[in-house]
Amino acid sequence: MLDLADIRQPDVRRGYTAQRRSVRRFAPAEYTAARLLLPAPLRPDVIVLVAFMHDTDDRIDHGSRRDREKALQAWRLLVDESLASGRPPHPVLRTLPWAAQRHPVLRDRVQAFLDGRDFLPGGA
């Protein structure tokens, strides 16, 4: 799959492989759907986004509304740092800058996702 997506650098391949294994474990239905329905060049980056969305959701599912908002704010800072520097400080974000570089529209979509407050459990 990585060859078909023209992902050649060894460190980048390791990052995508780690994300693929993670998503296959925690979201087998989404992983299978991506494998069956998407063209090979898109699969690695969609899997990265599934991992990112899952981790984001986990961060805002627990605690009081204030705790969830703080967690989202802290996560947003890590995401912004990752996208700006290309050197992610968190394993889930390891491949996000590469995906955004390959598909520049993803940078804006990630930012819009994090800006959307309607996905916080308990309403806006």
Q: What is the pTM of this model?
A: 0.85
Structure-token match 């986004």, residue found: 49
pLDDT of residue 124: 45
In this prediction, the residues of the chain whose per-residue pLDDT falls under 70 are 117-124
Q: What pLDDT shows up at residue 33? A: 94
The long-range contacts involving 10-16, CB below 8 angstroms and separated by at least 24 positions, are 12/95, 12/98, 15/94, 15/95, 15/98, 16/44, 16/47, 16/48, 16/95, 16/98
Tell me what pLDDT residue 100 has: 94
